[in-house]
A and B are shown apart, each in its own frame.
Chain A
Amino acid sequence: MVGSLPVRDVSGAVALALVLAAGPVLAAPALAEAERATPGLLSAVEGHPPAPALSLGALDGAPVALAAGDPPTIVHFFATWCAPCRTELPALADFVRLSGVRVLLVDVAEPADRIRRFFAEGTAGAAPGPVLLDQNRAAARGWGVSLLPASFVVISGRLVLAREGEVDWADPETRAAIRVAAPPPQKNQPKEAQGEQTR
């Protein structure tokens, strides 16, 4: 369920074509220690190709497989050592909480103990979804991930939006891009409209 994301015309904002598994490019100028790349927007994936297979064991849970009939899903590749991943995860968690969009986190090539401790310590907040274990990097390769973090939005089994690098999940255009790509079901009450929930 996507929820009631702010409605804006984002046709121009998502017109970029993302080249997955890009060929050789020259390195960008190296960033100085304090000059990290800023978060950016998801880009449209040209042609909406079928999403690569994703079927992995999960941290402390049953194995998870992505199916064509699944609801819109963010597939997010990360690692605990990756600095931008650590800053992005809390923002992604906020996005998921507010939007109701399903997220599958895919940790790349780390021992389960390390991931468990990472989330237990809370430096990046709680995991906003199941954590899948891509221990031999096969999933990362299959999805053409050459840089962490990497995020993909999969709708009806197809890659619709993607970004390698940190996504600005708080930017209204990010919400709008997903909203445009995956309108919410008519009858479902979006979480944002339900107000603060207490139990």
Chain B
Amino acid sequence: MTTRRDFLKAGALAGVSAGAAALLHRAAFAQAAAQTTPAARVFAPTVGNWRSFQITTTVEILKPAGTVQAWLPVASFSNPDWFKPGENTWTTNAKTAKMVRDARSGADMLHLAWAEGEPAPKVELVSRATSRDFAVDLTKPGKPAPLTAEERRRNTAATDLIPTDGIVKATSDKIVAGKASELEKVHAIFEWIVENTYRNAATRGCGIGDIAALLKSGDLGGKCADLNALFVGLVRAQGIAARDVYGLRVVPSRFGYKSLGANSEIVTKAQHCRAEVFLSDFGWTPMDPADVRKVVLEEPPGKLALDDPKVVAARKALFGSWEGNWFAYNTAHDVALPGFDGPHLGFLMYPQAVSAGSLLDCLDPDNFKYTIRAAEIAV
């Protein structure tokens, strides 16, 4: 068993070590969830205090065969406005374990390879980050630093599953017809997503994110990786920079929205991707139309109308703000897994592993197997 600590990103959490940090007592988690009753507060995040979180990913390959490898996403995303990645530490019986980056997509991950014949491949990865609620006042234009040419290229580019031509471009043009400013166009697309899509509870995981197929089918149901990818694609089709941010819900919503937070310390299935749009007068701006549809479907008592006050509040707030109860991994698309000569992934949000030469089902954590726990930590 080897234990390693990755200090490459430790600067963001200077002075924090595994020994110095203390997990908040489990009761604190429940207390946080109970602090706000559903009717207590209107959903309206503002720029908040920084909070520190720790997620612990445990992987045990149940039926190892041949050369077993695993790739666990870690935070490569950072935005000084609301998310700073911290250190990663791990304990494993793997033959090799190292932090790697897929250079083309920019995704960071812990790559492990076990000796052939290892009967019980296992790893525990602990990742930390700080995050806070964030909001952009869209009534007060500023002068943010413009994107570099490379940043603009990357965040307006088509990806394997997010084309920006064809039906995506045609649909986007139709939505923004008559809208002059960047902000008006993006708002029109946000509203279109809220009005025309739905969250499909039967979708596995967070969805596939094949947005051209989604549009062509006319059945605009899915989850965040579908609906926010569609939002990003429609925005990119206008030449406006946008990005999916893939991550994990870690703690409850402080506004009492059950649907917009992790409601248990077990967050194995709490993956969620958000979106950011770069507006020339405001910089990177939080947006999450998929979560508006999640509130519609899931917020008790469920299947809310669009004019329900909870939905109205979320719809308004999630165009320009969000809560920091979430851990960001990356904004990567078409991710290659280093050391594996297999297909690229549409995105990297779940643990991945190869056994007997083929990928395990990352959407089946019980048979994979992996678990993810989250906690707020005091520093």
A-to-B contact residues, CB < 8 Å: 23-33, 36-37, 79-81, 83, 109, 111-114, 117, 135-137, 146-148, 164-165
Contact = CB atoms under 8 A, between A and B. Distances in A.
Give the interface centre of A81, A83, A164, A165 by most chain B CB atoms within 10 Å: A81
B200 to A, nearest CB: 7
Contacts of A111: 358-362
Interface stretch (B33-41, B92-100, B132-140, B166-174): B166-174
22 contacts: A24-B165, A24-B167, A24-B170, A27-B170, A27-B174, A29-B218, A30-B218, A31-B217, A31-B220, A33-B198, A81-B207, A109-B208, A109-B346, A112-B358, A112-B359, A117-B361, A117-B364, A117-B367, A136-B343, A137-B343, A146-B212, A165-B217
B219 interface: yes
B360 A81 contact: no
A33 B220 CA distance: 8
Interface string B198-240: 1010111001100011011111110000000000000000000
A31 B218 contact: yes
B66 interface: no
A23 B200 CA distance: 28
B364 A109 contact: no
B302 interface: no
Given A24-B170, A81-B203, A37 B218 contact: yes
B159 to A, nearest CB: 12
A135 B343 contact: yes
Nearest to B203: A81
A135 to B, nearest CB: 4
A27 B216 contact: yes
B160 A27 contact: no
A27 B218 contact: yes
B253 interface: no
A25 B170 contact: yes
A109 B198 CA distance: 24
Contacts of B358: 111-113
Given A25-B167, A113-B364, A146-B213, A30 B342 contact: no
Contacts of A135: 342-343
Nearest to A164: B216
Contacts of A36: 219
Interface string B323-356: 0000000000000000000111010000000000
A35 to B, nearest CB: 8
Given A27-B215, A81-B204, A111-B359, 6 more contacts: A24-B169, A27-B174, A30-B219, A111-B361, A113-B361, A146-B213
A135 B367 CA distance: 21
Contacts of B200: 33, 83
B295 to A, nearest CB: 16
A38 to B, nearest CB: 12
A112 B166 CA distance: 31
Contact of A147 (B160, B174, B217): B217
A164 B212 CA distance: 13
Contacts of A117: 361, 364, 367
B344 A136 contact: yes
